[in-house]
Amino acid sequence: MLTITGLRASVDGKEILKGIDLAIAPGEVHAVMGPNGSGKSTLSYVLAGRDGYQVTGGSATYRGKDLLAMEPEVRAREGVFLAFQYPVEIPGVSTSTFLKEAVNAVRRHRGEGELDAMQFLKLVRAKAKALGVGDDMLKRAVNAGFSGGEKKRAEVLQMALLEPRLAILDETDSGLDIDALKVVADGVNALRGPDRSMLVITHYQRLLDYIVPDRVHVLSGGRIVRSGGKELAHELEAKGYAGMGQAA
Amino acid sequence: MTAAARPKRPPSPKLLAERTAQAAPFVQAFVRAFEHAGAAAAPAWLAALRQAGLAAFRAQGFPTPALEAWRFTNLRALADAQLAPAGDPIAATLPPALAALTPRATFVNGRFAAALSDLAGLPAGVTLTPLAEATARDGDALRTRIGKLVPAEGDGLAALNAAFLADGAVLSVAAGTLATAPLHLVMLGTAPAPLSFHPRLLVSLGAQAQATIVEHQAGAAGQPYLANQVCEIDVAAGARLAWITHQDHAPGAFAVARMAAAVARDASFRHVLLATGALLSRHEVRIRLDGPGASTGIHAAGLLRGAALADITTAIEHAAPHTTSDEIVKLVLDGRSRGVFQGRIAVAPGAQKIEGYQLSRGLLLSEDATANLKPELEIFADDVKCSHGSTVGQVDPAQLFYLRARGIDPTTARRLLVEGFVGEILEKVPDDETRARLAAQAAAWLAG
Ligand SMILES: Nc1ncnc2c1ncn2[C@@H]1O[C@H](COP(=O)(O)OP(=O)(O)O)[C@@H](O)[C@H]1O
Ligand SMILES: [Mg+2]
């Protein structure tokens, strides 16, 4: 699904990612854990194509294509979805307008017909209900004035609507109480399947009790310093990041 | 925050000479038109009012950027265009989008057009009389109202309006009348030859009355014209007036609208403006909150491209304690356009417990566009809550990326963001149908 080889990236001339190697097969869920500032969000932005993140070396191949050569919207239409650590507030643009544009952009790309207003409403209501997202939120402006938990839920709703092949969840658990965390995890787990892969970025092991990963990687100082099975997350919990050894 | 008023200096001889030079062609054109129309037909008080307006215009001329209130807006092109006042009424047709709106009063080049109006559905308690008819009939009642809130003295354009005063409307909503369904005013400009027109609207709401006015300023493409409109509004105690304006004048037009409202105790005046038309426009709103509990809101959006200039100038005077105002002005600027906002909030000495909020934002879609935003707070009381903010910027890259990361192409993403920017203004329109229509018009402008 995704093969990252020797990926290096800089922000403002400062190297943040210092050679990342990571391969995610279809159907797999990988977790990336690491302390604050280790480069987790930078990795997610580079994969999503944000401006200002210069790739200085290495490659990322997504379903046989050069991911890094694609425009951000093309990556999204091809099935890459980033759940933002800090979802962006867009006052004045209603959530439902935004979601309809997004869903139809992706559907057009996939050769599926656009949904009309009624069809879209039916779809979005069903998905929203499953995630405990109220109809009123759809009328509100995108993320504007949402609580932290509402923003994260809205990200998962977007993911459920866009049905990505590769979902990157950047600290989708942060700021959630345990009930909200379960709802979000259920939403993510509902999307798991043999054709879908996930990269779950988290600071805490807690989320991985609910979204059980196939592989766990520890990111530190812009490098993956350890990789292992799901038990690595528990080891991290016990020993802390300090016990993982720093990047050389 | 306190900003002292600039002392008023008398105009220099050079300035006066320049003004007179600018005014001359206009004045001559007016005098000819005035004679042609047979001024004798007007009652003596009206003739005197016009003469006084003419004299004031002669003294003032067009405002120039030497005046603080006109620093960013140069009317040179208007002065040079020599737009003689419109003569006999010109037949016109309504834009199709407006033809279905009722009740509706239509004015063509400032003159009431009965054939294009439909006032059958006017609710009881609401009367609309063409000003020409009212002045012929009702001199005593009108002579004190005309110019009460917008005096000709010291204001060249108001003076010009008084000098050319011919028609407009007297709109009254009787005390206690609830007329919240929109009443439409269509102010249509049509210019087979270059011309100007100077309508005046006199509006009053009696105590506890409620009304919604939707004003459509529109124009047919043709020769340049000047729409120089004055609107004087009295909102009596406890009354509520919502006034929504879509300024959609012809692309080559000069459009000046002066709106002044006196808002009494516990009354409210809320104004929403969408400006998409004209080559050069000045929308000036002066609101005086006269009694405790009075409140006002001004929400304005200007969409400009090409070489257009839109100037939105507002002055809110908190003349009494316990008054509130909130204001948001947004300018979307493409091409070589210039957007101007001047927003004054004045709090009179002793007017305590005031709340005032003002936000102005310019969104630049092109490198050649300019925004001049000038908030001005004059606060002479200490127990007040006034805040203001002003920003000019481009489309936010973080917002743009967020939309693109969901598969939305950059063009659509930008359009959504600009619509959202304007949406914060249009959501203030109280009437659903009107809000939807304005949103569609804004979207059409953005797509065009
Ligand atoms: N826009 C930016 N400009 C400059 N430095 C940045 C920027 N974004 C991130 N960084 C730096 O890059 C490093 C990694 O940040 P980030 O990827 O956000 O880490 P994480 O998500 O793991 O907390 C940090 O040292 C941070 O200060
Ligand atoms: Mg992060």
Q: What is the pLDDT of residues B69-97, one digit of tens each?
A: 999 999 999 988 888 888 778 889 999 98
Task: Answer whether B346's CB lies under 8 Å from B358's CB.
Answer: no
The verdict on B137 and B275 lying in the same domain is: yes
Q: Do B401 and A51 touch (CB under 8 A)?
A: yes
B412 contacts in A (CB within 8 Å)?
A: 101, 105
Per-residue pLDDT reduced to its tens digit, B171-213: 999 999 999 999 999 999 999 999 999 999 999 999 999 999 9
Residue B326 domain-assigned (yes or no) = no
Q: What phi-psi label fits residue B404: left (phi over 0), alpha (psi between -120 and 50 degrees) or beta?
A: alpha
- B300 strand-pairing partners: B273, B329
A76 contacts in B (CB within 8 Å)?
A: 404-407
Pairing outcome for strands B168-173 and B126-130: antiparallel
pTM beyond 0.90, yes or no: no
Taking a 5 Å cut-off on Cβ, the residues next to ion ligand 2 are: A 40-41, 85
Q: Dihedral angle at the C-alpha atoms of B121, B127, B129, B135, nearest 10 degrees?
A: 170
The verdict on B199 and B68 lying in the same domain is: yes
The verdict on B269 and B417 lying in the same domain is: no
Peptide bond between residue B103 and the one before it cis (omega within 30 degrees of 0): yes
Residue B420 touches partner A, C-beta closer than 8 Å: yes
Q: Measure A218 CA to nearest chain B CA, in Å.
A: 26
Q: Do B406 and A162 touch (CB under 8 A)?
A: yes
Beta-carbon neighbour count of residue A168 at 10 Å?
25
Beta-carbon-side half-sphere exposure of residue B39 (alpha carbons within 13 Å): 17
The whole-angstrom separation of Cα A87 and Cα A146 is 10
Mutating to test ligand 1, I would choose from A16, A40, A56, A224 the residue with most ligand atoms within 8 A of its C-beta, which is A16
Residue B394 domain-assigned (yes or no) = no
The pair of three-digit structure tokens given for residue A8, joined into one six-digit string? 């290096």
CA distances from B368 to B29, B307, B442 (A): 37, 10, 22
Phi, psi of A176 (to 5 degrees): -100, 140
Ligand 1 contact, A187 CB (< 6 A): no
Q: What would the mean pLDDT of B402-422 be, rounded to a whole number?
A: 96
Residue B437 domain-assigned (yes or no) = yes
Residue B322 domain-assigned (yes or no) = no
| CA-based nearest residue in chain A for residue B412 | A101
pLDDT of residue A125: 93
- Read off the pLDDT band of B335 (50, 70, 90): very high
Residue B345 domain-assigned (yes or no) = no
Radius of gyration of chain B from Cα atoms?
21
B418 contacts in A (CB within 8 Å)?
A: none
Task: Answer whether B163's CB lies under 8 Å from B153's CB.
Answer: no
pLDDT of residue B4: 42
The whole-angstrom separation of Cα B122 and Cα B124 is 7
A219 Cα nearest atom in ligand 1: 22
State how far Cα B163 lies from the chain centre. 19
Task: Answer whether B376's CB lies under 8 Å from B3's CB.
Answer: yes
User: Which ligand minimizes its atom distance to the CA of A241?
Assistant: 1
DSSP, residue by residue, B21-90: HHHHHHHHHHHHHHHHHTGGGS-HHHHHHHHHHHHHHHHH-S--TTSGGGSS---HHHHHH--PBP-S--
Task: Tell the burial category of A194 from Cβ atoms under 10 Å away from its Cβ (0-12, 13-18, 19+).
Answer: exposed
Residue B410 touches partner A, C-beta closer than 8 Å: yes
pLDDT of residue B372: 97
pLDDT of residue B1: 36
The verdict on B411 and B272 lying in the same domain is: no
The whole-angstrom separation of Cα B442 and Cα B246 is 10
Q: Domain limits at B46?
A: 13-290
Residue B347 domain-assigned (yes or no) = no
- Work out the widest C-alpha separation in chain A, in whole angstroms: 56
Nearest CA to B265 among B232, B241, B298, B289? B289
Residue B372 domain-assigned (yes or no) = no
The whole-angstrom separation of Cα B309 and Cα B78 is 12
Task: Answer whether B111's CB lies under 8 Å from B198's CB.
Answer: no
Q: Do A72 and B401 touch (CB under 8 A)?
A: yes
Beta strands in B36-167, from DSSP E residues, in sequence order: 104-108, 111-112, 126-130
**Kind and range of the H or E element at B77?**
helix B76-81
pLDDT means over runs of 10, chain A (248 residues): 97 96 96 94 98 96 97 98 96 92 96 94 92 86 90 93 96 86 88 93 89 94 93 85 59
Q: Could you tell me the distance, in angstroms and rounded to a whole number, from the CA of residue A183 to the centre of ligand 2?
A: 22
Choose from A73, A106, A161 for mutation: most chain B CBs within 10 A: A73
Pairing outcome for strands B210-219 and B178-189: parallel
At position B165, the amino acid (one-letter code) is: L
Task: Answer whether B210's CB lies under 8 Å from B177's CB.
Answer: yes
Indicate the residue among B290, B310, B331 that finishes a domain: B290
Task: Answer whether A201's CB lies under 8 Å from A40's CB.
Answer: yes
pLDDT of residue A245: 57
The whole-angstrom separation of Cα A238 and Cα A228 is 15
Q: How many domains does chain B have?
A: 2
Q: Is the pLDDT of residue B3 over 50?
A: no
Indicate the residue among B255, B290, B325 that finishes a domain: B290
The whole-angstrom separation of Cα A136 and Cα A154 is 12
Residue B336 domain-assigned (yes or no) = no
End-to-end C-alpha distance for chain B, whole angstroms? 41
- Read off the pLDDT band of B9 (50, 70, 90): low
The pLDDT > 90 percentage for chain B reads 77
- Read off the pLDDT band of B296 (50, 70, 90): very high
Ligand 1 contact, A12 CB (< 6 A): yes
- Read off the pLDDT band of B5 (50, 70, 90): very low
The whole-angstrom separation of Cα A232 and Cα A217 is 8
The pair of three-digit structure tokens given for residue B420, joined into one six-digit string? 């959202």
The whole-angstrom separation of Cα B402 and Cα A72 is 9
Size of interface A-B (CB pairs under 8 A): 80
Q: Give the list of residues 6+ apart from residue B75 with CB closer than 8 angstroms, or none.
A: B62, B63, B64, B254, B280
Indicate the residue among B235, B263, B290 that finishes a domain: B290
Give, as one character, the DSSP assignment of residue B382: S
A141 contacts in B (CB within 8 Å)?
A: 420, 423
Q: Do A73 and B404 touch (CB under 8 A)?
A: yes
Q: Could you tell me the distance, in angstroms and rounded to a whole number, from the CA of residue A33 to the centre of ligand 1?
A: 15
Task: Answer whether A171's CB lies under 8 Å from A161's CB.
Answer: no
Q: Measure A154 CA to nearest chain B CA, in Å.
A: 13
Give, to the nearest 10 degrees, the angle between helix B410-426 and helix A95-109: 160
The whole-angstrom separation of Cα A63 and Cα B188 is 60
What ipTM was reported for this prediction?
A: 0.96
Q: Is the pLDDT of residue B21 over 60?
A: no
A87 contacts in B (CB within 8 Å)?
A: 402
Nearest Cβ partner for B405 among A72, A90, A101: A72
